[in-house]
Amino acid sequence: MRLLIPNPGLDNRILSYEDLKRLEEEEAEDRPKWDNKAQYILTCVGFCIGISNVWRFPYLCQSNGGGAFMILYLILLVLEGMPLLLMEFAIGQRLRKGSVGVWRAINPYLTGIGIGSMLVSFLILLYYNTIIAWIMWYLFNSFQSPLPWSQCPLNDNGTGFVPECQRSSTMDYYFYRVTLNTSTSIAESGGIQWPIVVCLLTAWTVICICYIRGISTSGKAVYVTAILPYIVLAIFLIRGLTLKGSMAGLKHLFTPDVDKLTNPTTWLNAGAQVFYAFGLAWGGLISFSSYNPVHNNCMRDAVMLTAVTGFTSVYAATVTYTIIGFRATENYDNCMSNNILTLLNGFDLPEDSITISNYEAAFNHLNSSFPDIVLGLDIKHCDMQKLLSEGVEGTGLAFIVFTEAITKMPGSPAWSILFFMMLLCLGISSMFGTFEGVVVPLRDLNMFPKKWPQEAITGVTCFIAFIISLLFAQHSGIYWVTLFDNFAGSVPLLIIGVFELFAVVYIYGIDRFNEDMEFMIGYKPSIFWQISWRFTSPLVILAILVFYLVTLGQQELTYLVWDPNSDEFPSLASVPYPSWIHLIIFILAGIPALAVPAYTLYWLVLVNCRKKFF
């Protein structure tokens, strides 16, 4: 006997199979439609494959066991992500509605699931487009030679270089000081960085133009934004493999550290990355699938998108680490060359008497024979593994590590233009799905007048988002971007995902859902899908959620700041968040997660009041 919560009136809220057949035959449905299947697949691929594939996934691999993490991620991609992906595809295609409309049709008490997805998508939309604005800034400044981040600027009187740049690196200085003019605390706004405001305005204008008529315009744009990144990645892979040290980078990436699999954090990171990679619970995938023909094979789409997502993650990580290996090798060779030069000058030795191949033996001999002299020399510790690991987290990978490697390539401006054009396409194509997850629910909730055309809704939404995103154009903007990234897209998505599975299995009814699948694709899902929807996926998501909350509760909330007066400089200093940040975290993570029970309570009170007074 299966558990099924009573759900009166469901048949009246959803279209019957006969109604769906009639609408399809008469082409009487008022919803937009995809021009072709390729447009739909490319839009979904563009949504799932974003900027994080270039910087988040490679970092997670490197810091969580390399090849071992990659295998774990691919397994969870199938066990955790693919079942929920198919469920979102199928329920949107069957009910022909957006994220709010789908859950309201299943049961009005579940409308909060769609509202929670919309809130998460809106928060992600704000900071994600800020990163696109940074990409645009770098892209605009790539059309010059030499690249502006390849050398330190002169000081005010032109007698030397800026001390802050000399103490750090040209790439760090250009990102933190020239681009963002970063303050030393999230509490210190420092005013507005106007070049970033211009880039933000440009970024929102581009999104508005591409999405001005919904999928009828964004569907055309994905032919460029979804395909071009693969071409550019292929070019970078070919170039990267020809660079010295690329194999060292790949070895560092793929070497499995099996011991890491005993660490719960590794499983947490892998599971959370699956959720983030697919864009699950954002609402965009449900809307996209609702524009498909009723008999579209959504199961094949889910399997195909899972394969593409897994392949692209590994593909992008491979490209990234050929470049990181080259950068690390260049820095290692420079470090060794400086040490050799220091020893040659310190002991007045012949020029070729010490080389990289015999450096270790020569250094040990000199250090044992003349320890006092060696101690007085400025000998650096050259560690290849440390160089492979440093500075690869988050935005630092794209704006610092990659830019440094690009400056060392012949024809660096051309490579820089290619790289940031690729990131721009990845970002814009992901924004289409995120934007869809905001605009469609707003329209379903009647937040705009019904007579407003799509163009007006898109324009007003972009304008409001631009005004709010000025928060990230402050000198403290990077700290706000990090805060949003850490909390807006984590806990709420996991909670909403669990609610989605529960709603379909126990309120809509898994038997009804299986019948819907048979009606749409011609056969019922196999036992793998049944077990995944009922047990595997919800248990994996709940385990990740519990581990995340326990880990978060045991740690002090800190963030990294760029502070030239810090003892750790030029490294970023770790400082605790101010106490008021807990309120912001509640707004970012708590309100979207609580939207489901809050709306359920609201609807319960509303229904009881209607019964009492009417």
- 340-358 per-position pLDDT tens digit: 888 888 888 888 888 888 8
Q: How confident is the model at residue 1 (pLDDT cuts 50, 70, 90)?
A: very low
Q: What's the mean pLDDT when you consider all of the chain?
A: 89
- 170-191 per-position pLDDT tens digit: 999 999 999 999 999 999 998 9
- Residue 349: the pLDDT is 85
- Residue 393: the pLDDT is 60
The mean pLDDT value for 81-97 works out to 95
Q: How far apart are CA 433 and CA 48, in angstroms?
A: 8
Predicted confidence (pLDDT) at residue 391 exceeds the cutoff of 70: no
Predicted confidence (pLDDT) at residue 137 exceeds the cutoff of 60: yes
More confident residue, 392 or 180: 180
Predicted confidence (pLDDT) at residue 18 exceeds the cutoff of 80: yes
- 321-343 per-position pLDDT tens digit: 898 899 889 888 888 988 888 88
Q: How far apart are CA 33 and CA 35, in angstroms?
A: 6
Q: How confident is the model at residue 159 (pLDDT cuts 50, 70, 90)?
A: confident
Find the range with the poorest average confidence among 59-68, 288-297, 563-572. Answer: 59-68
Predicted confidence (pLDDT) at residue 219 exceeds the cutoff of 90: no
pTM: 0.91
Q: How far apart are CA 493 and CA 499, in angstroms?
A: 10
- 491-507 per-position pLDDT tens digit: 888 899 999 999 999 99
- 68-84 per-position pLDDT tens digit: 889 899 999 998 899 99
Q: How far apart are CA 495 and CA 28, in angstroms?
A: 37
The CA dihedral of 249, 251, 254, 255, to the nearest 10 degrees, is -130
Predicted confidence (pLDDT) at residue 305 exceeds the cutoff of 90: yes
- Residue 392: the pLDDT is 54
- Residue 485: the pLDDT is 87
Q: How confident is the model at residue 28 (pLDDT cuts 50, 70, 90)?
A: low
The DSSP line for 267-300 is: HHHHHHHHHHHHTTTSSHHHHHHHTS-TT--HHH
